[in-house]
């Protein structure tokens, strides 16, 4: 199922960008080349949460 692999790759890229920027979504969205709104939607859709 290629779509699942692509979704997982996207999730990993988002997680890494968020870690690199200490969860500063504006910078992470720039690294990923997407809008802040798109990144926020993807974070919510993936169920990602900032670590405590």
- Concatenated DSSP letters for 1-52? -HHHHHHHHHHHHHHHHHHHTTT-HHHHHHHHTS-HHHHHHHHHHHT-----
pLDDT at 17: 98
pLDDT for residue 52 is more than 90: no
List pLDDT tens digits, range 8-39: 999 999 999 999 999 999 999 999 999 999 99
């Amino acid at each position: 199922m290629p779509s699942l692999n692509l979704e997982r790759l996207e999730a990993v890229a988002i997680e890494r960008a968020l870690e690199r920027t200490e969860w500063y979504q504006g910078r992470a969205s720039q690294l990923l080349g997407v809008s802040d709104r798109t990144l926020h939607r993807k974070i919510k859709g993936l169920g990602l949460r900032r670590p405590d």
